[in-house]
Amino acid sequence: MGEEGTEGTVHLLCLAASSGVPLFCRSSRGGAPARQQLPFSVIGSLNGVHMFGQNLEVQLNSARTEDTTVVWKSFHDSITLIVLSSEEGTSELRLERLLQMVFGAMVLLVGLEELTNISNVERLKKELREALSGFAEAAGTAFVSLVVSGRVVVATDSWWRLGTPEAVLLPWLVGSLPPQAARDYPVYLPHGSPTVPHRLLTLTLLPGLELCLLCGPRPPLSQLDPQLLERWWQPMLDPLRACLPLGPRALPAGFPLHTDILGLLLLHLELKRCLFTVEPSGDKGPSPEQRRCILRSFYALVTAVHFAPEPGQQEEKVEDPAHRPQVPRACYLVSGTEEPGTGWRLVALQLGPRRLLLLLSAQSPVHGLRGLATHTLHALTPLL
């Protein structure tokens, strides 16, 4: 729930909306699971103030204290999720999206019908504990795709058309399961099929590389026999082996990238795909975990403050061009200015449907940030 390397505590609460009975509670500190739990009286108060507002037709979405941000969200008048975060720089937008992903994970594994018709709370609590334990421990983690180290590296058009959040949650699910040669796993699709289960079939082609199929009752797993795999995948083993090193770097070997770049996130807002790496070259500067945390925090900042979350959102229902809000094209953030040569640089640039975020070393001159980001975006455009 928290991000790697951050200070502060995050509490996630799931309650039955009608009764207020807690279904599960999870806590993390600095990105690691924590045993610290909120007292039942506090949980009851948080849910009570939300229900009190609903009874008065007032929707309580978020609140802030001196050191904590709280976000409430109800789903289908059945489940209420509450998150409290004391992490520095946490935004309501980031916490709301966390709650959306948590509910999506619940639908993915249990199904919408089970969640919206809670007949046996204790049984549901038990099922959710068992089903979500893998997600909690992994922190992280049709329709055919190849998944390397939890990343979809190539997929059919149907897989790419999967809606949010299943497009994110399915690779996470595969990464959270124990390694196996083959799996036949029932899943619900939170966006596409929340009440009728599908089957997620996985086949390990090479260590760290899995073939994933999302399908209905057919084909049975027994039909995906070694003969079929040998026919279609044996000729591809050498190219597939070449994919494995791409896991951490996510870029082809020899790809021209400026040496100041410590990490990058490239988003294609229309295709809803991204390219992300915190290991573009070398091991200078912050650790990969710290780089990931810095980039994620910067993404939350620019999405909540500077750029519209979705393309065209800010232009909706604005008829007079003279009164259209100014949408920024770029922004940057500098850390460590008190000591020359320390800290890092962050820059975000949006051109058309693509948005690029860069984490750069302290040696990168501030006056050249936009030029470097523009050049990098043009170089990455053929990849996404």
Give CA–CA dist 357/59, Å, rounded: 34
Give CA–CA dist 304/298, Å, rounded: 10
What element of type H or E holds 298? Answer: helix 288-301
Instruction: Report yes or no on 101 lying in a domain.
Output: yes
Give CA–CA dist 102/81, Å, rounded: 9
Are 80 and 203 in a shared domain? no
* CA angle (59, 60, 64) in 5-degree steps: 160
Q: Cis omega (within 30 of 0) on the bond before 179?
A: no
Are 265 and 238 in a shared domain? no
Are 206 and 170 in a shared domain? yes
Are 285 and 210 in a shared domain? no
Tally of structural domains, the chain: 3
Provide the CATH number for the domain around residue 127: 3.30.450.70
Are 100 and 183 in a shared domain? no
Instruction: Report yes or no on 320 lying in a domain.
Output: no
Structure tokens at 359: 């984490």
Secondary structure (3-state) at 53: helix
Instruction: Report yes or no on 2 lying in a domain.
Output: no
Instruction: Report yes or no on 1 lying in a domain.
Output: no
Q: Domain limits at 169?
A: 144-219+227-244
Are 103 and 26 in a shared domain? yes
Are 24 and 129 in a shared domain? yes
What is residue 246's predicted lDDT score, i.e. its pLDDT?
60
Instruction: Report yes or no on 77 lying in a domain.
Output: yes
| Helices and strands per DSSP (H, E), number in the chain | 11, 16
- pLDDT by residue, tens only, the chain of 384 residues: 434 445 688 999 998 887 677 788 888 887 777 877 787 778 888 888 888 787 778 888 999 988 899 999 999 888 899 999 998 888 999 999 999 999 999 899 888 887 876 655 445 445 444 733 333 233 233 577 878 777 777 777 778 888 778 888 898 888 888 888 888 889 998 888 889 888 898 888 788 888 888 888 877 777 766 666 666 666 666 656 655 666 666 776 567 788 889 999 999 888 878 888 888 766 667 888 889 899 999 998 888 888 865 544 444 444 455 555 566 789 998 887 656 667 789 999 998 889 999 999 888 888 889 999 998 998 888 777
Query: Whose structure tokens read 């795909």?
Result: 273
What is residue 181's predicted lDDT score, i.e. its pLDDT?
84
Provide the CATH number for the domain around residue 344: 3.30.450
Q: Is the pTM of this model over 0.75?
A: no
Instruction: Report yes or no on 57 lying in a domain.
Output: yes
Q: Cis omega (within 30 of 0) on the bond before 219?
A: yes
Q: Can you list the alpha helix ranges (DSSP code H) found in 157-287?
A: 157-160, 166-176, 226-233, 237-243, 246-249
β 9-16/79-85 pair status:
antiparallel
Query: Whose structure tokens read 């204790």?
Result: 122
Are 378 and 255 in a shared domain? yes
Are 160 and 132 in a shared domain? no
Residue where one domain finishes, among candidates 80, 101, 136: 136
Instruction: Report yes or no on 322 lying in a domain.
Output: no
Are 284 and 370 in a shared domain? yes
Residue where one domain finishes, among candidates 117, 136, 155: 136
Residue where one domain finishes, among candidates 136, 152, 182: 136
Environment class of 47 (CB within 10 Å of its CB; exposed 0-12, middle 13-18, buried 19+): buried
Are 70 and 148 in a shared domain? no
The set of residues, in sequence order, having a beta carbon less than 8 Å from that of 23 and lying 6+ positions away, is 14, 15, 16, 79, 121, 124, 125, 128
Are 299 and 370 in a shared domain? yes
Instruction: Report yes or no on 316 lying in a domain.
Output: no
